[in-house]
Amino acid sequence: MDKEQITALVARLKMAHRHGALDYGDLFEMCEEAAETIEALHKRLEWQPMETAPKDGGEILIRELGMRFIAAWKKGAWRDNDTSLFAEPFKYPDGWMPLPEVE
């Protein structure tokens, strides 16, 4: 569920409440939907173990020695997004998360 879908869900809840047309089944379904979305968003904000990081060459945010870097899996190691052929790999990455979506 993205930002537009969440906004639409909130609008549906407000409209149903105003018109008194909200039954418990609808409310339960909408709350479940909202809870799943919140859980997914929360998970995106937590550091994940490096073993679960995608090794598809796409950029992610990694943490090493308390600092954060944009990195990608290149030549069998986590490297920063430097285009140099001699970019040194990270030695002690201990967590990752997806980069924030840009609107």
Bigger pLDDT: 70 vs 20: 70
Q: How many domains does the chain have?
A: 2
Residue at 86 is within a domain: yes
Q: Do residues 25 and 55 both lie within one domain?
A: no
Residue at 38 is within a domain: yes
Q: Do residues 92 and 54 both lie within one domain?
A: yes
Model confidence pTM above 0.85: no
H or E element, residue 9: helix 3-18
Q: Are 44 and 1 in contact (CB under 8 A)?
A: no
Q: Do residues 19 and 58 both lie within one domain?
A: no
Q: Do residues 59 and 28 both lie within one domain?
A: no
Over pLDDT 90: what percentage of the chain?
38
Q: Which one, of 91, 92, 86, 99, lies nearest residue 60 by Cα?
A: 99
Bigger pLDDT: 53 vs 81: 53
Please determine, for residue 1, whether its predicted confidence score (pLDDT) is greater than 60. Answer: no
**Domain enclosing residue 11, as ranges:** 3-44
Residue 40 CA to residue 45 CA, distance in Å, equals 9
